[in-house]
Chain A
Amino acid sequence: KNEVEQSPQNLTAQEGEFITINCSYSVGISALHWLQQHPGGGIVSLFMLSSGKKKHGRLIATINIQEKHSSLHITASHPRDSAVYICAVRGNRGSTLGRLYFGRGTQLTVWP
């Protein structure tokens, strides 16, 4: 069983649409990360959050610690948003402190 589950696995949208990607986790965490991976393979960090909500441009990330759930929203989607979005959680105890557990990723394709 994976500690982090993402949905959907694949997502296709028209330019301008509002997009939501969901992440649920089953372990105790100290923080949750949203990562973006482009076709070349490199990964960049979009958000790191432990409570509430963060916004950066057209991207919004929320987390509900009690429900162990996070969402990544993209407003006014654009073809350049096409990428794999990965949810990862950071463990909060003992030997798991600092290490990340990853979801399988959501492949987003935005058509013009």
Chain B
Amino acid sequence: DGGITQSPKYLFRKEGQNVTLSCEQNLNHDAMYWYRQDPGQGLRLIYYSQIVNDFQKGDIAEGYSVSREKKESFPLTVTSAQKNPTAFYLCASSSPRGGSYEQYFGPGTRLTVT
């Protein structure tokens, strides 16, 4: 079945450590996105990529880094520079084919940093 996978579902790290969240899609979508969700707030865009080997900062990119070496993969690294990394992270993908940019979401990764 086509879809987006994120792993792991739960992730625990010590403060000061970098951690990489995985996102893979087999929908053949060109665009991929990373969002952060905090209680009581809407999803906020961290980074997005509209094509392989290219990505742009979203609204809250500080303390995060990404790569897009393959169309199906868009890993997010939460660095030690991120002041408050504990959150729920969602990956999404979309394709502009046919004028539709409907986004499909992964199941998310809940990151806890102590």
Separation of A104 and B42 alpha carbons in the complex (Å): 4
The reply to whether B110 and A41 contact each other, CB–CB distance below 8 Å, is: yes
Q: Which among B50, B88, B103 is the interface contact of A100 at CB below 8 angstroms?
A: B103
Q: Which among A33, A40, A48, A86 is the interface contact of B42 at CB below 8 angstroms?
A: A86
The reply to whether A43 and B31 contact each other, CB–CB distance below 8 Å, is: no
- Counting chain A CB atoms within 10 Å of each CB, the highest count among B94, B103, B105, B107 belongs to B103
Q: Which residues of B contact A48 (CB under 8 A)?
A: 100, 102
Q: Which residues of B contact A4 (CB under 8 A)?
A: 42
User: Size band of the B side of the interface?
Assistant: 20 to 34
Q: A-facing mask of B31-62, CB < 8 A → 1, else 0?
A: 10101000011111100101000001010000
Separation of A81 and B90 alpha carbons in the complex (Å): 22
Q: Which residues of B contact A43 (CB under 8 A)?
A: 90, 105, 108
Residues of B55-110 whose CB lies within 8 A of A:
56, 58, 88, 90, 94, 96, 100-108, 110
Q: Which among B42, B50, B104, B108 is the interface contact of A2 at CB below 8 angstroms?
A: B42
Separation of A90 and B50 alpha carbons in the complex (Å): 15
Q: A43-B105, A44-B105, A45-B103 are in contact. Are A99 and B45 (CB under 8 A)?
A: yes
Q: A99-B45, A104-B41 are in contact. Are A42 and B50 (CB under 8 A)?
A: no
Q: Which residues of A contact B101 (CB under 8 A)?
A: 30-31, 90, 97-98
Residues of A74-112 whose CB lies within 8 A of B:
86, 88, 90, 95, 97-105
Q: Identify the A interface with B (CB < 8 A).
A: 2, 4, 30-31, 33, 35, 40-45, 48, 86, 88, 90, 95, 97-105
- Having A30-B101, A42-B105, one finds 5 other A-B pairs with CB under 8 Å, namely A33-B102, A45-B103, A48-B102, A98-B50, A104-B42
29 A-B residue pairs with Cβ-Cβ distance under 8 Å, sorted by A, are: A2-B42, A33-B103, A40-B107, A41-B88, A41-B108, A42-B105, A42-B106, A43-B90, A43-B105, A44-B105, A45-B102, A45-B103, A45-B105, A90-B101, A98-B50, A98-B94, A98-B101, A99-B45, A100-B33, A100-B43, A100-B45, A101-B42, A102-B35, A102-B42, A102-B43, A102-B44, A103-B42, A104-B41, A105-B42
